[in-house]
Amino acid sequence: LILISNCQKLIIIALVTAYTLMHSHHAFKSTLDDPGHRVPRFSSMHWAVCVPKSCSPKDVENSIINVAESLSTGTGLKATIKVVPEMCQISSDGHLPNSTLIVGALFLLL
């Protein structure tokens, strides 16, 4: 059993804290749920995928999880897949409203 004084304990704590703060990867542990503007995301990748309108966000998430698992088997890589439903968009029919065409024509004439 090693006995250390309170002063030595404080010095050890200060050194460990200083060492930990010197390395940014110790200061924050980021997850997919962290806001990117407050906590740095060191290992996040953002992808866009085009799928038919009938696919739900959960369908897309499950499909990507299946592909990621099949590709990473035996590699030691771990991927966490998350599809945010609010980020899903449905393509419009491609026709511009008449008001947009009129304003565009006015800008071209000026």
Whole-number pLDDT of residue 40: 60
Q: Is the pLDDT of residue 28 over 60?
A: no
Whole-number pLDDT of residue 78: 80
Tell me: do 28 and 62 sit in the same domain: no
Other CB atoms within 10 Å distance of the CB of residue 88: 14
Whole-number pLDDT of residue 89: 84
Whole-number pLDDT of residue 12: 76
Residue 24: phi and psi, rounded to 5, are: -60, -30
Q: What is the domain extent for residue 34?
A: 1-41
Question: Within a domain: residue 76?
Answer: yes
Q: Is the pLDDT of residue 108 over 80?
A: yes
Tell me: do 77 and 56 sit in the same domain: yes
CA–CA gap between residue 31 and residue 44 (Å, rounded)? 9
Question: Within a domain: residue 108?
Answer: no
Tell me: do 4 and 26 sit in the same domain: yes
How confident is the model over 51-61, as a mean pLDDT?
Answer: 88
Q: Is the pLDDT of residue 94 over 90?
A: no
Tell me: do 25 and 49 sit in the same domain: no
How confident is the model over 44-61, as a mean pLDDT?
Answer: 84
